[in-house]
Amino acid sequence: MRLSFPACVILALMYTWKTIRKVLVMSLKTPAQDPVFACCDFSSQAAGGCWAAMPASLLILGKGKILKKKLIDLIPEFNLIEDSALREKVLAAWDEAIKLGGWEVGDLEKIPFTLSLKDCPINLKDHVRGVTQACVSIEKIFKKIYNGKIKINRDSLVAGALLHDVGKLLECKKEGGKYIKSRSGYLLRHPFSGVALCYKHGIPEDILHLIAVHSKEGEGFKRTTEAIILNHADFANFDVFSLDVALE
């Protein structure tokens, strides 16, 4: 029996998709423990379980959404960024930093926010939240007291505060039960690695500036208004934990 041209095209497309699907499924790990796919039968991909039937792009997208949701649950200040496109870029930068450093989202509650303090009592998550909230509070006070005389881009300030220490996920590592400086940390301090990572994800230059000059690397540089606020907020959240016991 001879098939019509449209029928031949349809069959060819079906065969091509079947082949591509098989390759993609074989190249990905089955997320058996992922709650999104808990309802799926992974016992027999050849038998046509929903894992085999689902396009790989949707699976990756699903896992990405889960990680971003975990980040927002842990650091709700991400939602303070009003520009949704910018918010997605900020989350994407954190996502990649976590993966490159070999961390899990939950590790943000364990990683010390600095290796400069012995037995640091504050984790990276709380430091980022503290700095971000401090920046937001300063912006509100300036806006109220100075009646618009100081121009502040709130989204840039919030994004910079959230990203200022994202490079620390590459700067440190866990070895022998202790958090120590990684080789990357010895070669590039977190403002450098943070800027490189964020540039890759399309973070605007005015925010890259905040990341670059928020610490001692910014000494001698002219800072924008947002960068000045971030610098002081960051060190206020650092210096109070480095006080001499006699001064407390």
Q: Which pLDDT value is given to residue 120?
A: 85
Q: Is residue 159 part of a domain?
A: yes
Q: Which pLDDT value is given to residue 122?
A: 92
Q: Which residues face 173 on adjacent strands?
A: 180
Q: Which pLDDT value is given to residue 132?
A: 98
Q: Which amino acid is at 207?
A: I
Q: What are phi and psi of 12, to 5 degrees?
A: -65, -40
Query: 215 and 188 in contact (C-beta within 8 Å)?
Result: no
Domain tally, the chain: 2
Residues 14 and 81 reside in one and the same domain: no
Q: Which pLDDT value is given to residue 93?
A: 97
75 token code pair: 């650091």
- The CA–CA distances, whole Å, from 132 to 9, 158, 230 equal 56, 6, 8
Domain ranges, residue 226: 75-247
Instruction: Note the pLDDT tens digit of each residue in 33-61.
Output: 443 334 334 343 443 444 344 444 333 44
122 token code pair: 């504050």
Q: Is residue 62 part of a domain?
A: no
Query: 246 and 192 in contact (C-beta within 8 Å)?
Result: no
Residues 83 and 178 reside in one and the same domain: yes
Residue 226, H or E segment = helix 225-239
Q: Is residue 60 part of a domain?
A: no
Instruction: Note the pLDDT tens digit of each residue in 125-159.
Output: 999 999 999 999 999 999 999 998 999 999 999 99
Write out residues in the chain with pLDDT < 50, as ranges.
3, 5-61, 245-248
110 token code pair: 């364990």
Residues 25 and 85 reside in one and the same domain: no
Query: 214 and 164 in contact (C-beta within 8 Å)?
Result: yes
Task: Tell me the whole-structure pTM to 2 decimals.
Answer: 0.73
Q: Which pLDDT value is given to residue 66?
A: 82
197 token code pair: 């990572």
Residues 42 and 114 reside in one and the same domain: no
Q: Is residue 205 part of a domain?
A: yes
Q: Where are the alpha helices (DSSP H) in 42-153?
A: 50-53, 56-74, 84-100, 124-145
